[in-house]
Structure 1
Amino acid sequence: MTATLSWIDEITMTELERNPYPVYERLRAEAPLAYVPVLGSFVATTADLCRTIANSPDFEGIITKAGGRTFGHPAVIGVNGEIHRDLRSKVDPALQPSEVDRWVDGLVRPIARRYVEQFENDGKADLVSQYCEPVSVRALGDLLGLNDVSSDTLRDWFHRLSNSFTNAGVDADGEFTNPEGFVQGDEAKAEIRAVVDPLIDKWTVEPDDSAISHWLHDGMPEGQVRDREYIYPTLFVYLLGAMQEPGHGMASTLVGLFTRPEQLEAVIDEPALIPRAISEGMRWTSPIWSATARISTKDVTLGDVFLPEGSVVLLSYGSANHDTAVYDAPSDYDMTRPPLPHLAFGSGNHACAGIYFANHVCRIGLEELFEAIPNLERDSGADVEFWGWGFRGPTPLRATWEV
């Protein structure tokens, strides 16, 4: 373990959850690859380091300690080799662009219309809880085959799984400082199993076109299915990361556009600009802010930092997307900035499988919202607060409009 600067030893989980940007700005300037005691691992904070490590043959994917405690094994984000290839082979086909193009509009647009119709005549709404999150979870829930699970239940599941996954604080001995913080995740998983187990029983003998049914059957010998214990950790990954990412990406894009009224007006007038607005929103506040990790497969030296074999490095993509070596004034939302690549969806062979799907959920959601309420404004009487370090988004986002 390398020596740390004294201020790094004082970093707390509370300040990271409330606002990680000041800490990570200082890390980028003073120690872009540093061991952070409260996280019990090294942290990469610049775009160059995150991209280098994510694509290096000297590192493999690994799930964070708190993530492993939450999801179990083998979760797709924390395995390598043949298991990783098999898990990706069951989740990737339905998320390929050509496949998503075939059904995404028919899936997402009716969902978005249904939710916006519930409040469009009210003149006010919390866009996170009433629109962005429900559209996000309903779209993926229906894709997975969880059509009969309410959107409120899906939202509750991903919030509790998120709180568990990001309960990452450890003491000097590497023990969790708040072991009780995993209880809510355990309870959510028990509820998920109670709902999904009967569905797996059904899909085992009566497969259909739902994603989970395909996970069970695709690529398996005749008469065999994948074991549910093999599938569940990756399902938990989806019910957290994939459930929250489009909704929080959409919400962050709205917050960003509210800071630039002229850009909001331009997007409403010309919906073809929405994908560019979303890309900047994902960069500006990355929904998966610092939830992925790699482990060194041999001794590695990056810059002046020596990483012994087996060193875990958190890839802080939210920090990388604010790297001043890449972006001018990165803390500002500006959809007119040059369209440089960002790392909101990760990089390398563990990059997010749902990039194309998530972007289209966001696009369709904003299209329907702006079509129904073109005079949307942020409620100036309510502050916008963001929360989270592993996963980050606004909570809530109150808006008003003339009816």
Structure 2
Amino acid sequence: MTTTVSWLDDITMTQLERNPYPIYERLRAEVPLAYVPVLGSYVASTAEICREIATSDDFEAIITKAGGRTFGHPAVIGVNGPIHADLRSMVDPALQPQEVDRWIDDLVRPIARRYLETFEDVGRAELVGQYCEPVSVRALGDLLGLQSVSSDKLRDWFHKLSRSFTNAGVDEDGEFTNPEGFDEGDEAKAEIRAIVDPLIDRWIDHPDDSAISHWLHDGMPDGKTRERDYIYPTLYVYLLGAMQEPGHAMASTLVGLFTRPDQLESVVDEAGLIPRAISEGMRWTSPIWSATARVSTTDVEVAGVALPAGSVVLMSYGSANHDHSVYEAPSEYDLSRPPLPHLAFGAGNHACAGIYFANHVCRIGLEELFDSIPNLERDTDNDVEFWGWGFRGPTSLHVTWEV
């Protein structure tokens, strides 16, 4: 595949990981559906095109090349038809709103309180590492049935899987430019299996209310369970995306609020504004920025671009959420903007299964944080840096307060 726009050939993975926004702003303006050589696929960068492709019968889900190398098959984000239906029937029940409402407060609030107690009397903290990520991974780990795995180990797994999944650079022959970049993901998967295999052995004979136990048993004939190799790719998806999204959405929302002190004060004073603050935070910096893909099942034309059957398109939802045709001043965090829908959770039948769960983990985490430390301020002696193109969030967030 060759490009007709020369500057596309110069895009590097380093640029995308450090700051994808300038590149994607130019893509939206000049070539909103374009083949990007370093990614080895087309990129959809506007809200309209992302929605069109995500909901079109001419496309189906496919896992990115780096994602397939990291997760294996069949991962829920990259399959279709009966397998996708079965995997969604496996993971969806525990994430339905009426089910989440039953246990979410009892699960997340004590976790948030435990982490806050470790630093609320100190007067300073680094919230990504000390609060946002730990609360997120612990909540999901306990839901899955991984109470015996430390939060530090869960965080280590999701960071390793994230770097592996986004190791997407390819050369002109479509070969990975950094094949060693998958080693740490392989290491994480080996550790996961060493810990989870004995748990699966127990759950097969002694099912409980943990999510993985339900994955094994629900919808299966008596005496039968799903094969562990069948559920592991989706477990890896959870141990990356479902852990990353709430933690980084919480952190990005805080960074955004720090840019608008008046809005931060309003949210601290009125907890009912927290869900709206989170929604704007997810639009402003989408945690799953450009990690999902679609493949055309037939020759099709989209936005004036002829796509042959088998064309892979990366869905850049983080870019779509900065589309000037939809949002005024999209690069600014603004709680007062009209509550327009965003694409942080995707669209179509492969939209994120954990929308309700993720939003409520964020809500409870911020409620507890603001209740314990209402005078929170960003430590301006430390910069806030964001990283990532497939997944994106602040790498650290230093804060201070009077005790």
Normalised TM-score (structure 2): 1.00
Where does residue 112 of structure 1 map in the other structure? 112
Aligned residue type for 2:6: S
Q: How far apart in 2 are the matches of 1:302 and 1:277?
A: 34
Where does residue 86 of structure 2 map in the other structure? 86
- Provide the aligned C-alpha RMSD in A: 0.5
- 1:249 pairs with 2:249: yes
Q: How far apart in 1 are the matches of 2:109 and 2:126?
A: 20
Where does residue 298 of structure 2 map in the other structure? 298
Q: How far apart in 2 are the matches of 1:4 and 1:132?
A: 43
Pairwise CA distance, 1:2: 5.9
Pairwise CA distance, 1:4: 3.0
Q: How far apart in 1 are the matches of 2:369 and 2:247?
A: 13
- Deviation per CA, 1:327-381: give whole Å up to 9, x if none: 0000000011000000000000000000000000000000000000000000010
Aligned residue type for 2:105: D
Q: How far apart in 1 are the matches of 2:22 and 2:124?
A: 33
Alignment of 1:2-151 (within 5 A): 3-151=3-151
Alignment of 1:225-374 (within 5 A): 225-374=225-374
Q: How far apart in 2 are the matches of 1:59 and 1:243?
A: 28
Q: How far apart in 2 are the matches of 1:219 and 1:4?
A: 50
Q: How far apart in 1 are the matches of 2:254 and 2:276?
A: 13
- For the residue of structure 2 that corresponds to 1:242, the secondary structure is helix
Aligned residue type for 2:82: E
Aligned residue type for 1:45: S
**What is the number of residues matched between the two proteins?**
403
Q: How far apart in 2 are the matches of 1:325 and 1:252?
A: 23
- Deviation per CA, 1:119-159: give whole Å up to 9, x if none: 00010000000000000000000000000100000000000
Aligned residue type for 2:129: S
Pairwise CA distance, 1:302: 1.0
Worse overlay, 299-308 or 214-223:
299-308
Pairwise CA distance, 1:303: 2.2
Where does residue 194 of structure 2 map in the other structure? 194
- Deviation per CA, 1:207-237: give whole Å up to 9, x if none: 0000000000000000000000000000000
Q: How far apart in 2 are the matches of 1:181 and 1:4?
A: 30
- Deviation per CA, 1:93-124: give whole Å up to 9, x if none: 00000100011000000000111111000100
Judge conservation of contact 1:246–1:362 (CA < 8 Å) in 2.
yes
Judge conservation of contact 2:283–2:343 (CA < 8 Å) in 1.
yes
- For the residue of structure 2 that corresponds to 1:61, the secondary structure is strand
Aligned residue type for 1:374: P
Q: How far apart in 1 are the matches of 2:107 and 2:367?
A: 14
Q: How far apart in 2 are the matches of 1:307 and 1:50?
A: 15
Structure 2: tracts of 5 or more residues without a match: none
Judge conservation of contact 1:132–1:365 (CA < 8 Å) in 2.
yes
Structure 1 consecutive aligned stretches of length 4 or more whose deviation exceeds 2 Å: 1-4
- 1:387 pairs with 2:371: no
- For the residue of structure 1 that corresponds to 2:105, the secondary structure is helix
Structure 1: tracts of 5 or more residues without a match: none
Pairwise CA distance, 1:304: 1.8
Alignment of 1:178-193 (within 5 A): 178-193=178-193
- Deviation per CA, 1:225-276: give whole Å up to 9, x if none: 0000000000000000001100000000000000000000000000000000
Q: How far apart in 2 are the matches of 1:88 and 1:134?
A: 26
Judge conservation of contact 2:3–2:36 (CA < 8 Å) in 1.
no
- For the residue of structure 2 that corresponds to 1:171, the secondary structure is coil
Q: How far apart in 2 are the matches of 1:355 and 1:364?
A: 14
- For the residue of structure 2 that corresponds to 1:162, the secondary structure is helix
Q: How far apart in 2 are the matches of 1:3 and 1:373?
A: 52
Judge conservation of contact 1:63–1:292 (CA < 8 Å) in 2.
yes
- For the residue of structure 1 that corresponds to 2:137, the secondary structure is helix
Judge conservation of contact 1:386–1:394 (CA < 8 Å) in 2.
yes
Normalised TM-score (structure 1): 1.00
Pairwise CA distance, 1:389: 0.2
Judge conservation of contact 1:4–1:34 (CA < 8 Å) in 2.
no
Judge conservation of contact 1:63–1:78 (CA < 8 Å) in 2.
yes
Pairwise CA distance, 1:185: 0.2
Q: How far apart in 2 are the matches of 1:36 and 1:108?
A: 41
